[in-house]
Amino acid sequence: MRLLPRSLSLRLAIAFALVAVVLLGAIGLYLYRSLDREISWRDDQALLGRLERMQALLEDSTSVEALRQRPQLYENMLGNRDSLLWLLDAQGRALIEINPARLAIPPLPAGDAAELTDTDGARLAWRRLPGEAGLTLVAGRMLVEREQMLAAYRVKLWWALSLGALLASVLGWLISRRALRPVRHLTRQALAIDVQHLHLRLDESAMPSELEPLRAALNQMLNRLEQGFARLSRFSEDLAHEMRTPLGNLMGQTQQLLHKDRDAEAYHALLVSNQEEYERLARMIDSMLFLARAEQPAAAIERQRFALPALVEQLCDYFEGVAEERGIQLLDETEGELFGDPEMIRRALANLLANALRYGASDSPVRIVSGGSGVGWRSVSVINLGPPIPPEHLPRLFDRFYRCDPSRAEPGDTGGLGLAIVRSIMQLHGGEVSVRSDAGVTEFTLRFAETPA
């Protein structure tokens, strides 16, 4: 492949030239062989005709000697200096000879039938005449003229082949340039699309059917890029907003305290408050790093089978204190096993439980339920009672930094990244997370494959 030029137009031109050389060469070879066979057949028929006419002259003459006295009868029949004629007796001596090339009398095989043979650059036809004299007629033709004519024809064929290949190359280049015009048009359209014009799409007008799949694929890629840039822009704005709040608190409180001298108790209170903001920033950064690692194409998880009730029991023990403060009862209704990364699944369920405890109604249960959700799938649901999530928030609920009610942010939360982390964990497992919220019941469901994909 390195020997081929990078230009498609030049490749097509070379391909056209090769096809022309092969095709014209095959046609030229066929015509050359056909001409050679046709000339040979005509010469052979002419030689056999001369034998017939010479035999007729001998039969009409009283003797061979009388025919030798009248050479104009057969010399005119030969017509040119390339023709040969012998009349041989039984001992092979020439009684009549017309031999401008001074060729030796050819040895003839035994037999009475007319024969054709090549010898010393000449084509010969011979026939033994009936009678007791044992005479033999030999007619011949020198092959020089035929070879010269065929050589001239070969030269013309080579010229035609060369010019045909050259013409095919030029025409192939022109045709390929014209045929690739839609590709250049597509390239110009693609070059016009940059970060500021991601809304533009490749036009399908006058697009050949062969390029339609490429155009559609590029437009789909542009759609994904536009959505990705929009998410990135929204993520940057949300990140700046989320980090501005703790940084503003840190700067404002510190500047206020440093405005004048304070006692040790005031400095201690400031450090405690700053510590909370630092922890909030640390949790946010940790969550962002987890999301970044989870979305890498090479991200891998260590799957194994584990008992789901044991994992949920540990989580219930962990959240027991928070649940008692809010009067919420944690109900473990899980059973069976899951196939996946236990630590990641623990984190996903912990985020869902923290979300349920934060937004669930007081003095109500939070249920963790497992079950089947189709052949080859298992589900784990976290269900809480409380105000339903408005429908307009559901599509964006798993976006980064998205909160239905930003005013309800509390110390210790994940900065709006908890549900985004849950979605990333499910994507790594080849599963999915969904939410349903109506009639005072909110249910988050994780779907896992029972066996690895």
| Among candidate residues 75, 93, 80, 85, the one with its CA nearest the CA of residue 47 | 85
What is the CATH topology of the domain spanning 300-449?
Answer: Heat Shock Protein 90 (3.30.565)
Helix axes 342-359, 308-318, angle to 10 degrees: 40
| CA 184 – CA 7 distance, rounded (Å) | 13
Please provide the size of the chain in residues: 453
Identify the pLDDT of residue 3: 66
Identify the pLDDT of residue 199: 80
- Specify the range with the lowest mean pLDDT, choosing from 85-99, 186-200, 244-258, 284-298: 284-298
- Specify the range with the lowest mean pLDDT, choosing from 28-37, 137-146, 255-264: 255-264
pLDDT tens digits for range 366-387: 999 998 766 778 899 999 998 8
Q: How confident is the model at residue 296 (pLDDT cuts 50, 70, 90)?
A: low
Which residue did the predictor score with more confidence, 81 or 427? 427
* Ramachandran bin of 127, using left for φ above 0, alpha for ψ from -120 to 50, beta for the remaining angles: beta
Percent of the chain with pLDDT over 70: 87
Beta pairing class for 432-438 and 365-372: unpaired
Q: How confident is the model at residue 353 (pLDDT cuts 50, 70, 90)?
A: very high
Which residue did the predictor score with more confidence, 438 or 1? 438
Percent of the chain with pLDDT over 90: 16
Domain ranges of the chain: 8-166, 212-293, 300-449
Q: How confident is the model at residue 172 (pLDDT cuts 50, 70, 90)?
A: confident
Residue 132, pLDDT > 70, answer no
Which residue did the predictor score with more confidence, 169 or 62? 169
Residue 297, pLDDT > 80, answer no
pTM of the full predicted structure? 0.51
Identify the pLDDT of residue 7: 77
Identify the pLDDT of residue 387: 87
Residue 113, pLDDT > 60, answer no
Cβ-in-10-Å burial (0-12, 13-18, 19+) of 84 comes to buried
| CATH number for domain 8-166, candidates 3.30.450, 3.60.90, 3.30.70, 2.40.128 | 3.30.450
pLDDT tens digits for range 232-269: 777 677 667 667 777 887 888 888 878 777 788 888 88
Residue 283, pLDDT > 90, answer no
Q: What's the whole-number mean pLDDT along residues 25-39? A: 91
Identify the pLDDT of residue 389: 87
Beta pairing class for 122-128 and 329-333: unpaired
What is the CATH topology of the domain spanning 212-293?
Answer: Helix Hairpins (1.10.287)
Q: What's the whole-number mean pLDDT along residues 338-345? A: 88
Which residue did the predictor score with more confidence, 69 or 325? 325
Identify the pLDDT of residue 107: 76
Identify the pLDDT of residue 192: 85
Count of CB atoms within 10 A of residue 124's CB?
Answer: 20
Identify the pLDDT of residue 176: 84
Residue 64, pLDDT > 70, answer yes
Identify the pLDDT of residue 37: 92
Identify the pLDDT of residue 281: 80
Average pLDDT, the chain: 82
Residue 55, pLDDT > 60, answer yes
Identify the pLDDT of residue 74: 67
